[in-house]
Amino acid sequence: MSKAQQTVLEINLKSLEHNYTYLRSKLKPSTKFMGVVKAYAYGSDSVKLSQKLVALGAEYLAVAYAEEGVVLRDAGIKVPILVLHAQTVSFDTIIDKCLEPTIYSERILKGFVIAAKNKGQKNYPIHLKFNTGLNRLGFDESDITSIIAHLNQTDAVKVTSIFSHLAASEDLNEKEFTVNQIHKFQKIITKIDNALPYATFKHLANTSGILNYPEAHFDLVRSGIGINGFGNDQSEDQKLIPIATLKTNISQIHHLAANESVGYNRAYTSNKKIVSATLPIGHADGIGRIYGNGNGFVSINGKTAHIIGNTCMDMIMVDVTDIECNEGDEVIIFGPSSSATKLAEQARTISYELITGISQRVKRVFVEK
C-alpha cells in the first residue's frame, strides 16, 4: 500500500466499538446510552459515528445545535436526537426535522410551546434541563411550579426526560460538590414526578459521571469523550482507545548550518547544525501557534520531534536531528500511541479542545480493523 501523502484524521470504528462496549459494561442493562456527537462528533465525523453507534445499540444521540441534528437526519439517522442547546431561531427546524429540544428556561419553554402549536403539534417531545451547579444552562428547582403550570395549559408538548449536567465529574477532589449535584437532582426528580401525570426518564452523567458515579447513571447516560477514547483519567485511558489518529508525512528535510533560522520571524535558531522536517499541517488545521517553539511535538518512526519556530498556517517544522527519517515518512501528531491528552497539556488545554479543533480541511478517513 502506498503511503498517504496528505494530512488525514484516521477514525477507527473498531476502536469506537471497543469504547462503546467498555462504557456500556459499566451500566445496568436497563440504562440507555446517548452518544454525544456534537461538534462533528468531537472533531471526527458525526454521521459516520452516529451510524456506527446506532448499529451498536445506542438508543439516543445528542448534538449541541439544531443544524448539527439536521445533518444527521439528512443522512437518514432515525433514532431520537436531543438538541442540547436549543435556540429560538431553530425551533421550526427542530420540529421540521423531528429533533428534541432541551428546554432550559421560561423563555425557551414559552417560545417552544408557541412554535409547536403553530405547527399543529401534539405531545411534541421536550427535555427539561435543570441547573444543579454548573451554572450554564438550566431551570432552577424553584421554577418547577411555573413550569408545571405552563405545561398544564397545553398539549402541544410533552416532557420526555428531565436532566442536568455535572460540573466536575472527572475531578475526585470535587467529589463533595458532585454528590451534592446528584442530591439536588434527586430532589428535583421527586418534585417533577409528583407534579406530572406521566412518567419521564432521567439523566445526569457524562463520560466521567459514568466512570466515577454509578449512582448518577439513572435511566440514561450521555457520553462524548468516552466514545472517542478518552477517560479523563490515566487508568481509564488505559481501558479506552482513542479513535482518531492525526497523521501526515514529511514534505521536505533541510540540513541547516549553525545559526541559520527556521520559519517566520526567525523565531528559531540553533548554535549547532540541525536537521529539520517540514510537515503539511499548521494552525489552519488546528495545530495552533501555542504548539510552536518547542511546546508541541510529533512522533516520527517512534521518536519524538519537537516543533521548532512559529507554527505557520499550513505547515510546521520539527527538529529531526536525532531521528533517522526520510521525506515521505509517516508522522503521527496524535493517536492511540501518541496521547492527544499529553499534547494538549503542552498548550495548557484538554483533549476535548485539541480533537474538536482539527479543522475541516483535514480529510477524515475511516478504518474498521
Ligand X SMILES: *Cc1c(COP(=O)(O)O)cnc(C)c1O
Cα separation, 76 vs 302, whole angstroms:
41
Residue 216 near residue 206 (C-beta atoms within 8 A): no
Residue 109: how many other CB atoms lie within 10 Å: 22
- Are 102 and 137 spatial neighbours (Cβ–Cβ below 8 Å)? yes
70/227 with CB nearer ligand X? 227
In the complex, minimum distance from the CB of residue 341 to ligand X, in angstroms, rounded to a whole number: 13
Q: Closest Cα partner for 7 from 356, 303, 347, 360? A: 360
Strands of the sheet containing 363-367, edge to edge, are 252-256, 274-279, 316-319, 303-308, 297-300, 330-334, 244-249, 8-12, 363-367
264 among known catalytic residues = yes
d(CA 39, CA 296): 24
Total number of residues shown for the chain? 369
Closest CB to ligand X among residues 13, 61? 61
The count of other CB atoms within 10 Å of the CB of residue 260 is 15
Q: Which is nearer to ligand X, 50 or 223 (CB)?
A: 223
The single residue of 20, 22, 38, 129 carrying the catalytic annotation is 38
Nearer to ligand X, 69 or 226 (CB): 226
The Cα 218–Cα 223 span in angstroms is: 14
Asked if residues 258 and 271 have their Cβ atoms less than 8 Å apart, the reply is yes
Residues that bind ligand X (CB under 6 A): 36, 38, 84, 165, 206-207, 222-226
Show Cβ contacts of residue 197 under 8 Å, excluding neighbours closer than 6 positions.
Answer: none
Q: Tell me which residue has cell 419553554.
A: 109
Nearer to ligand X, 138 or 288 (CB): 138
Quickly tell me which residue has 491528552 as its cell: 341
The residue with its CB nearest to ligand X is 224
81 pairs with which residues across the strands? Answer: 61
Which is nearer to ligand X, 31 or 299 (by Cβ)?
31
Minimum distance of ligand X from residue 118's CB (angstroms) = 28
Residues near 48 by beta carbon (within 8 Å), at least 6 away in sequence? 11, 13, 41, 364, 366
Bridge partner list, 246: 9, 334
Name the region of 50 (left: φ>0; alpha: ψ -120 to 50; beta: rest): alpha
Q: Residue 220 Cβ, how far from ligand X at the closest point, in Å?
A: 11
CB of 206 to ligand X, least distance (A): 3
Cell numbers standing for residue 316: 510546521
**Closest CB to ligand X among residues 91, 130:** 130
Smallest distance, ligand X to C-beta of residue 25, A: 16
Catalytic residues: 38, 264
